[in-house]
Amino acid sequence: MISQPIRRRTILGALAALSFAGRRAFGFGDSARFIPAVAQHSGRWDVRLSGLRRLAWELQRRTSVEVVPDARPFPVSSPKLFEYPFLYMGGDGEFPPLSGAEIENLRRYLTFGGFMLADANDGSAGSGFDKSFRREVARLFPRNPLTEVPSNHVVYKTYFMLDSAPGRLLNKPQLEACNFGKRATLMYSQNDLAGAWSRDEGGDFEFEVSPGGEPQRELAFRIGINVCMYALCLDYKDDAVHLPLILNKRR
Amino acid sequence: MNSAPFNAWKLVSLSPLSPWALASLLALVGVGVALAVLGLRREPALQRRMVLWALRLGAGLAAAFFLLEPGIRNLQVARVKNRIAVLVDRSASMAFPAEPGGVSRSTQVAEYLDSVQMDLAALQDRFTIEYYGFDPELAPVTTELLRKQAPRGNKTDLLSALRSVKAGEQGSASKKLSGVLLFSDGADNVELSSGVAGKARSTLEELQVPVTTFLVGREGLKDLAVEQVKVDDFAFVRNSMVVEVEIRGRGFKGQTIPVVLRREGQTVASKSVTLKSDDDLQWLSFSVSPDQTGRFVYTVSVPIYPDEAVTENNSRSFALKVIRDRVRVLLVVGRPSWDERFLRALLRADANVDLVSFYILRTMSDEPQVRSDRELSLIPFPMDEIFDTKLDTFDVVIFQNFGYTDPQLSVSQYEKNLERYVYNGGGFAMIGGDHAFGEGRSNFPVLGQALPVEPAGRTASLDTFKPRLTPEGLRHPVTSFSQGASNSESAWTALPGIPGANITRVKPGATVLLDHPFQSVDGRNAPVLALWEYGRGRSLALTVDSSWYWAFAAHAGGSPSRHYDRFWGNALRWLVRDPDLTTLTVTADPPSVEPGRPVGVIVAARTPDYQPAVDAQVKVDLFSVKLQRPVGTQTGVTGADGVVRLEFPPPEPGAYKLFGSARKGDRGLGESEDAVAVRAVGPELSDASVRADILESIARFTGGRAHRISIGTFPEVPLLDPPVVEVGRSKDEPLWDRWYYLIILVALLGTEWLLRRRFGYI
């Protein structure tokens, strides 16, 4: 069984447990935990917040990472971003160009160690969010264009062994990334990853996943966890000590 | 007054006229003769014409004679003797016996020169014979000195000696060199060591002086020598290095010789070589892996056999500096976090760091929701390997928020290994978090002994705070970001606050560099960054789990900050005892000393804030590894740059350690050590062979002859013999002022006049 359906009560209970978890038990306040920040742009930026919450919950449940499930939205120009090295930028439809200050702040954020997961919640290609986002990436990193993340990239083995990055959709099997040297500072999915993670207030998954159905949803969670692990551990799974075992599992 | 008779003369012009006036007058005489020829060209009678021409020509010559005023210049001359230089090799190899059991080569030269004294004396009517020894500087020598004073030159440089003696004829007062008699064993170890060719040959040919060589000594001496040791100046700790050794054996055909490599008395490796001929050269190599950093004296040696011509060359020492390759860091992480992420990025970006890391990505309570572990990229935590078999291969171990009580993740059974690892010289850092410093998880009761802090029994403080730089931290290299203490303090103040810290108690003897401004334990501010030396190792405790704020949040203001990088870089360097972070350095100068030379040592002292320690009292002991006791002590005072150079009188050959300490006033400035090798033999004594081939080549390319020394026999010696004349005094005697010369001139002119009248020309 790949993924067992989770009862609504279980989710709510777990979330409550997380929120009430003693500060002593989980490090020194929030700084030690994984908390996704969300980029507030001028478009529809907040359509998948429940998906991020669910991903954080899965990260907590499946790995040793400690999380705070509620994402923290910040304007792209906010200096507070620098307390949250993981930034999610999603959107449904086009959004206006970022201001100069926002571009500058985001560039500095990504240059000095921040990581951004961008997600086309509208599953667009060449229009909508995709068009606007690619425009902003060209402004951010004129010399570092988005390139496809090859299937042997460490992001596909940071925790789960994967070979593609499906979301609610499967428009493009692979992620795209902007690289600073060997580090991918920005990863982009056109498959609406967070759409596969989202739950409604009743605790049911918000969207159908196609074309793979529930198994694809599980893969979407896994790639989401792998991306978070990549942000946290970088190329740890490329260390020589891991290679024999990983190669063996790839066979 | 010089009463010596004139012994030479020459014809000169005594005319007081200037050359141009004389030339003008002679030209007029010529014109007069020419006019006479022209005037007589119509004379039909040949006889008359010839007579008149002859008379005019004779008169012209007579006139020229009077104009030139010829005279005899009487001269007193002396024949200058050319030089013959007798050059005697005074290098140390001339102290070897000329033949087994015989006198030294140097003494044999003295005996030979005495035996051919008559032959040399016979040359002295034409030549001045000068005797020089060269070591390689030229110095006058006598046969008595050759016998009494052992040769000590540390090299044989035949070409340099020949150049010097040739250069002696420069200058007008010097005498020309007619030849050189060169007495040597030919064992050149400078320009001609590999034979006479190329530039060396040109140099010999350009001397233009025949050099006659006399080979001293005999081939076939029995000798075993560590002739050469090839090794890099430094090696990397725990990396194999190769020591290549050249063993030369003469008279050891078929024998197997054991060769031993020792480090300061302890055998490191041994091998054996079999010598295949009576003059054989064998190479062998040792591959060793130094396990400690520092400078050490290694010695390669072969046994001493009876009847060896030289025993000092049976061992050869060298000093080797062992340095770190890359700092090998083991990073063990309790769980992924931003603190881990930024430290990993920093360590991975540092070319000087070889990072091995293990993260706990999944605990026993985590549910990855997989059917098979093959769906996960996780590997078992190889505790045996990293905390037992491979632990000593790391320079630094970092526990980052690591501490589990789960049996599968607990390292309790390896705590003793880790504690011993630190005690025996390793570096250890523990970084805080909810798994560290007793925060409800493993307390590391054994490993904790190596830490400079201990749990205070209180829960962590969650208040955001800015760590405060202590007075010790102001000057300490780990927390000092710049030369001035105030700059460091302002740099730390500018860093963003840290959200929370473990509350610990500092142990006696530990140094606190950063402390908590609000939290206190036992009346003291709780330590945030503390360190100390534990046994031979060092450990450091950082009681926060958000030092990544210094790396990332510090950029929120827009100005890039490198303080996080510098802090961790400094911490690693301190943990591995980077020599640049010690306050006292002792450096042998040079690290290998030739026999008979003093041992130099440079001591650089710095104050705790890493400024040059001016006027510091320095003391250095020269400690003999063989005798296991100091054999000398030197003291000194540092100068304005905090540096002083001391020198020990030449000690016996062997391996020595230099232990230095410094004080300024009542305060110690630290201790340091280095090693120095005092070699038993220099290059000169490492080879007892004679090189007839070199001497033969010298003779051939200079036009000389090559001979072997043979008592009482003075062979043919080619010598240049250009007579050189020198003017002493002179006296002029006029020839022109005789009366009969005037009569002749008048008679010639009168006869011509009479005949012209008679022939109708006047």
Nearest to B460 among A28, A61, A242 (CB): A28
A186 vs B67, more confident: A186
Report the gap between the CA of B520 and the closest CA in chain A (Å). 18
Cβ of A63 within 8 Å of Cβ of B362? The answer is yes
Report how far residue B257's alpha carbon sits from residue B284's, in angstroms, rounded to the nearest whole number. 11
Cβ of A113 within 8 Å of Cβ of B345? The answer is yes
Per-residue pLDDT tens over the stretch B242-278: 899 999 888 898 999 999 999 988 899 999 999 998 8
Instruction: For residues B388-407, give the mean pLDDT.
Output: 88
Report how far residue B198's alpha carbon sits from residue B645's, in angstroms, rounded to the nearest whole number. 42
Strand B504-506 relative to strand B453-455, pairing: antiparallel
Q: What percent of chain B is predicted at pLDDT more than 70?
A: 94
CATH of domain A27-250: 3.40.50.12140
Report how far residue A210's alpha carbon sits from residue B609's, in angstroms, rounded to the nearest whole number. 66
| Token pair of B153 as six digits | 């030159």
CATH of domain B327-364+376-575: 3.40.50.880
Choose the CATH number for B581-678 among 1.10.1530.10, 2.60.40.10, 2.60.40.1930, 1.10.3720.10. 2.60.40.1930
Alpha helices (H) in A112-155, listed in sequence order: 128-140
Residue B296 contacts by C-beta under 8 Å, 6 or more apart in sequence?
B263, B264, B290, B319, B320, B322, B675
The owner of tokens 């959107």 is A91
Per-residue pLDDT tens over the stretch B80-99: 778 889 999 998 888 888 87
B chain contacts of residue A4, beta-carbon cutoff 8 Å: 369
The structure's pTM equals 0.61
* DSSP annotation of B386: I
A chain contacts of residue B548, beta-carbon cutoff 8 Å: 85
Give the domain ranges of chain A. Answer: 27-250
Query: Quick check: B187 and B690 in contact, CB under 8 A?
Result: yes
Instruction: For residues B495-521, give the mean pLDDT.
Output: 93
Looking at residue A18, what is its pLDDT? 40
Topology match between the domains B223-320 and B327-364+376-575:
no
Looking at residue B154, what is its pLDDT? 78
Residue B646 contacts by C-beta under 8 Å, 6 or more apart in sequence?
B600, B601, B603, B618, B620, B634, B635, B636
Strand B427-431 relative to strand B468-469, pairing: unpaired
Instruction: For residues B403-431, give the mean pLDDT.
Output: 89
The CA radius of gyration of chain B, in Å to the nearest whole number, is: 46
Q: For residue B323, is pLDDT > 90?
A: no
Q: For residue B162, is pLDDT > 80?
A: yes
Looking at residue B82, what is its pLDDT? 82
Q: Look at residues A85, A86, A98, A101 and name the one whose alpha carbon lies nearest to residue A41.
A: A98
Q: Which CATH superfamily is domain B223-320 in?
A: Immunoglobulins (2.60.40.10)
Instruction: For residues B298-308, give the mean pLDDT.
Output: 89
Query: Quick check: B172 and B126 in contact, CB under 8 A?
Result: no
Give the domain ranges of chain B. Answer: 8-69+736-758, 81-218+690-724, 223-320, 327-364+376-575, 581-678
**What is the third-level CATH fold of B81-218+690-724?**
Rossmann fold (3.40.50)
B chain contacts of residue A28, beta-carbon cutoff 8 Å: 432-434, 460-462, 499-501, 544-546
Looking at residue A26, what is its pLDDT? 43
Quote the ipTM score.
Answer: 0.90
Long-range contacts of B621-624 (CB under 8 A, 24+ apart): B621/B658, B621/B659, B621/B660, B622/B648, B622/B651, B622/B656, B622/B657, B622/B658, B623/B656, B623/B657, B623/B658, B623/B659, B624/B651, B624/B652, B624/B654, B624/B655, B624/B656
Query: Chain B interface, mutation test: which of A2, A236, A246, A249, most B Cβ atoms within 10 Å?
Result: A236
Phi, psi values for residue B291, rounded to 5°: -105, 0
Split at pLDDT 50, 70, 90, the class of A13 is very low
Cβ of A112 within 8 Å of Cβ of B401? The answer is no
